[in-house]
C-alpha cells in the first residue's frame, strides 16, 4: 500500500515497485486506511496543538487524497487538522471530487493544489489513466480560487505557481 494508505490515480511511474514495494496491479487494486490512522492523527494533532504548532500539513505527494475510492478518511483528516488549528494543503489529480470538502478550507490558512501535466485530454488519458481530465481539474482550481483559497497547479516536476500570478496559465484557466 502507498504511504498513508491512499491510492493514486495510476500515473505511469518508473520505480513503482521500488517506491511502494508493490506491482502496478497491486498498487491500483485500491487503498485500505492504515490501522488506527485517524486515532493516531488525532493524538498527534493534540500534541501539536498543545505545543502551539499550527503549520501547514501537506496531503500528499506520493498518493492522492481525492482518489476514485472512498475519500471519507480524507474529509475526517481535514476536520481533525482544522479542529486542532493546523493548516493544510491538498495536492490532487482528483479535480471536482475535492469540491465536496471545499467548505472545510479556510482562505486565510489552507491551500488547494492540482497536478496539471498537460492541457491535452488525449495525452492525459494515456499518461494519467483513471484520473479526471485537465478541464475537470481546472474547474476545481477555479472554484477554490473564487473562494479566496490559495491555489496552485503543479506541472512536470511540480513547479509551484500561485494561480493569478502566472499570467499565461491564469489566462488559460480563465481567472486572469
- The dihedral sign for the CA sequence 42, 44, 46, 49: negative
Q: Is residue 62 in some structural domain?
A: yes
Counting residues of the chain whose pLDDT is more than 90, the rounded percentage is 53
Torsion (CA) 123, 112, 15, 73 in degrees, nearest 10 = -120
pLDDT at 56 over 90: yes
Q: Is residue 65 in some structural domain?
A: yes
Q: Is residue 68 in some structural domain?
A: yes
Q: CATH number for the domain including 70?
A: 3.20.20.70
Q: Is residue 30 in some structural domain?
A: no
Domain assignment of residue 163, given as a range: 36-173
pLDDT at 113 over 90: yes
Q: For 4-13, 113-122, 137-146, which range has the lowest pLDDT when averaged over its residues?
A: 4-13
Higher pLDDT, 49 or 32: 49
Domain count, the chain: 1
| For residues 45-59, average pLDDT | 96
| For residues 61-82, average pLDDT | 91
- The average confidence (pLDDT) of the chain is 80
Amino acid at each position: 500500500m502507498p504511504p498513508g494508505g491512499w491510492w493514486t490515480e495510476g500515473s505511469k511511474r518508473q520505480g513503482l515497485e521500488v517506491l511502494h514495494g508493490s506491482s502496478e496491479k497491486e498498487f491500483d487494486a485500491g487503498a485500505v486506511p492504515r490501522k488506527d490512522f485517524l486515532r493516531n492523527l488525532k493524538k498527534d494533532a493534540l500534541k501539536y496543538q498543545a505545543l502551539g504548532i499550527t503549520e501547514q500539513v501537506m496531503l500528499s505527494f506520493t498518493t492522492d487524497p481525492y482518489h476514485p475510492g472512498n475519500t471519507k478518511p480524507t474529509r475526517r483528516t481535514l476536520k481533525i487538522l482544522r479542529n486542532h488549528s493546523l493548516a493544510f494543503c491538498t495536492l490532487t489529480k482528483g479535480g471536482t471530487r475535492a469540491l465536496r470538502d471545499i467548505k472545510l478550507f479556510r482562505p486565510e490558512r489552507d491551500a488547494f493544489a492540482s497536478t496539471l501535466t498537460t492541457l491535452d485530454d488525449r495525452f492525459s488519458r494515456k499518461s494519467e489513466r483513471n484520473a479526471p481530465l485537465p478541464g475537470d481539474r481546472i474547474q476545481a482550481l477555479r472554484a477554490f480560487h473564487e473562494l479566496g483559497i490559495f491555489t496552485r497547479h503543479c506541472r512536470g516536476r511540480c513547479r509551484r505557481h500561485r494561480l493569478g500570478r502566472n499570467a499565461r496559465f491564469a489566462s488559460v484557466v480563465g481567472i486572469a
